[in-house]
A and B are shown apart, each in its own frame.
Chain A
């Protein structure tokens, strides 16, 4: 500002229009100041760069300089130096070739003392790492230690982490229970008994059940915990509770949508000989959420055998939906399910409209997706059974003149494989069905 004012006073008689304006103003000299925090920020950007390129040694080198920032950091800023160092240090120690578990443990212990607000989180992560490295006992010790931690109001604020810690400890209790159960079963086979193991087993059960029950109450995705808890309940004969837990897990709207919940429920029902109706209703929801699920094959098999027309129709819908997904393209079982059902419908000459309805939405893209000439060649070369099933379906849906059927049946007959000759005859016999389906 001063420069501007003075500029006017000292202005020469002739003002040159083409000098840029800022030549008359003073430039601040603070731009290039490199103070402690800016220097550390610069260092941090080098660390991050090295991490992204997986250059662990280089990252460690720059992190060594960055660690200095801790000496000045007593703030509780969210992503401050303490947090950075914890996360980056963990990453480096996990990936660096020369680090080992002992070093990792030392590091984690230091990180725990670094920030009270993060204490339980660090404990939890530490336990995870130990578990990933197969050090189950150490992980258990860590979790137990963390569980007994009390720090005034921080304990309340970190309630969620505490629940998780208890849940994981419960899970580890479950594993040791399971281990002891297996031992007992082995003894039982040999006719031996061991009271101490049995008592220990029951103790583990009590510890595990309490914790697992708590965490399942909170809405979330707890597949591991649910499975463990249900296993415990079933062993001790509490089927009622187990069923309630699974129903809640699958159908409670507060919980996030989770296909696995329905899978567990279905498996439970199957184990306990539930009526077909319940099984089918459980799987129906799974079909709606995940049409390409592997249980859909069982579902289709179940539905095909049913006496009810609606169910058979649903079965057809299910199997068509499964084959919409490229993961199932080369699956013989899926194709054989579809082939069997299509064949059965065509022979009975009833309900051709079912096929027609399913085929309508697919006739534009299934030919290129499943029945191209290239696929015909490949399927024939790689898997004759697959090509057989597919050819049947192709022959019915696209007629005997389609590329796929022509190629496969020709090859099959050339190779004098009996079932292909049967196939050819079948399709030729039922080609009017195709014509009726593909009508206007």
Chain B
């Protein structure tokens, strides 16, 4: 018979991956059958999720073509790959949002390289074109620099808000829990004092915020094209960074750098790739930070997924020859 103690059930903020792993274990334990198929029209399909995150990250809609192409090339859009089969230990389980975010990151790397140098060059180039061609059709050319400035401002503000909310978080449970009867009265008195003090200082906290109803939308950032300050990039065109080749549009950027040359052994390292911010270009880190904020997980989780997708994408080039360079020509 367990008395109540104030060590609440959750000892710390649950980490996404732990919850995910528990979910998978639970599904296997309950012997659940194969989940409903995830097809192209499902919300959880990478094509749809990419669209959602592209909008939320304030990136041009045109990027969606590219995410679809990457999804197709790496076969991460296949029904069998996406659908959850509990109990099937051989297949790696898919984290849908992380996958979508990673695909977007890969596309950004394909188009902008993100080596702290090339993306700014491309941006200047687009800026020139925009200056000379103010009334051009098809919307202005997408400028990485402008996007970066807008996003960074917003991200800093929102991150700060989030950090403050985390700091103010109250851990209490409605009924105090305690393990021994002797301590009961002491704990109850303490609880009473805490409530009194919180009451007292709560009144001094300034205007009482009305109970905020949680926003029904799952979008944390929203951008509207009606804003005249030009802070919405959805309609911007990628023409500045593409060139026509044999009737198809290809990226001007000819290079790509792999996040990691070799994936780790998951059984030993518990991950397929490790991440340390200082080892990578700042633009890449920034992009990871953005999605890390949107998804509320650590950048390393997204980085890991990016590595996996890159290895699927460049599979032939990586595993064909014994000798390889870290920078590949596409």
Seen from chain A, the residues whose Cβ lies within 8 Å of a Cβ on chain B are 2-3, 6, 10, 12-14, 16, 18-20, 22-27, 29, 32-36, 38-39, 42-43, 45-46, 56-58, 60-65, 67-68, 70-72, 74, 85, 89, 92-93, 96, 98-99, 103, 106-107, 110, 113-114
Contacts and interface: CB of A to CB of B under 8 A. Distances in A.
Contacts of A110: 193, 196-197
A3 B264 CA distance: 9
A36 B197 CA distance: 19
A113 B193 contact: yes
Interface string B164-200: 1011111110001000000000110011011011101
A255 B262 CA distance: 74
A189 B309 CA distance: 102
B261 A3 contact: no
B206 A39 contact: no
B170 A68 contact: yes
Question: Which residue among A12, A33, A114 has the maximum number of chain B CB atoms within 10 Å of its CB?
Answer: A33
A38 B13 CA distance: 10
Contacts of B187: 71
21 contacts: A6-B265, A24-B264, A26-B271, A27-B271, A29-B15, A29-B270, A36-B171, A39-B167, A43-B168, A45-B167, A46-B164, A57-B205, A58-B205, A58-B206, A60-B206, A61-B206, A64-B202, A70-B193, A72-B6, A106-B200, A107-B197
Given A3-B264, A29-B15, A34 B197 contact: no
Given A34-B12, A35-B11, A71-B176, A42 B166 contact: yes
Contacts of A56: 204
Contact of A92 (B191, B204, B276): B204
A269 to B, nearest CB: 53
Given A36-B171, A71-B176, A16 B205 contact: no
A90 to B, nearest CB: 12
Nearest to B6: A71
Indicate the size class of the contact surface on chain B.
35 or more
B317 to A, nearest CB: 15
A378 B302 CA distance: 73
A74 B5 CA distance: 14
Interface of B: 6, 8, 11-13, 15, 17, 164, 166-172, 176, 186-187, 190-191, 193-194, 196-198, 200-206, 260-262, 264-265, 268-271, 274-276, 279, 298, 300, 322-323, 326
Q: Which of A3, A18, A43, A64 has most chain B Cβ within 10 Å?
A: A64
A16 B300 CA distance: 23
A33 B15 contact: yes
A92 B201 contact: yes
A103 B196 CA distance: 11
A65 B206 contact: no
A42 B165 CA distance: 11
Given A39-B13, A46-B164, A64-B201, 5 more contacts: A12-B322, A26-B274, A58-B205, A61-B206, A98-B204
Nearest to A10: B265
Contacts of A74: 186
A114 B193 contact: yes
Contacts of A96: 204
A14 B323 contact: yes
B322 A34 contact: no
Which 7 residue pairs spanning A and B have beta carbons closest together? A35-B12, A57-B206, A60-B204, A61-B205, A26-B269, A34-B13, A65-B168
